[in-house]
Structure 1
Amino acid sequence: MKSESTKNFTTILSYSYTEYIWRPLYKNLFIKKSSHDPLWLRLAQYFLLEIIDDILLYTIQHGNAIILDLFLSDRILHLPLLEIYLTDTLLFRKQLSIDIVRTILIYLTMSTNRIEKCFENVFQRFLTLWSQESFIRFSSNTQHFYICQCICICLSLNKQLKLNEDKDKIIMSVLNGIRIHIESTFDYIRRRGQFIGELIIQRINLFSPSNQLHFDTYDKNHSEIQILTKLAELNHSLNDRELSDDDDDEKEKIRMKKGQSTITEYLNL
Structure 2
Amino acid sequence: MNQIKLVVAGAVVLLGAIAFSGYFSQSTPTATDKASAAVGSSNTLRIGVDSTEPVYFTSEDGSAKGFDYEMARSVAEGMGLEPEFVAMDFNELFPALRAGKIDMIGAQVTNTSVLEREFDFSAPYFSTYVAFLTPEGSTIRTRRDVDGKRIAVVDGAIQESYLRDKYHDVEIVKAPNVGAAVELIERGEADALFHGAPYAQSIIKGAPIVLEEPIVYQVDNAPIGFVIRSGDQRKAQIDEVLKDMVLSGEWLKIKTAYFEADPLSDVFRDKGA
Instruction: Please indicate the TM-score interval, normalised by the length of the shorter structure.
Output: under 0.3
TM-score, normalised via structure 2 length: 0.27
TM-score, normalised via structure 1 length: 0.28
By percentage of residues, which structure has more strand? Answer: 2
The structure with the larger Rg is 1
By percentage of residues, which structure has more helix? Answer: 1
Instruction: Pick 1 or 2: higher relative contact order, CA cutoff 8 A, min separation 6.
Output: 2
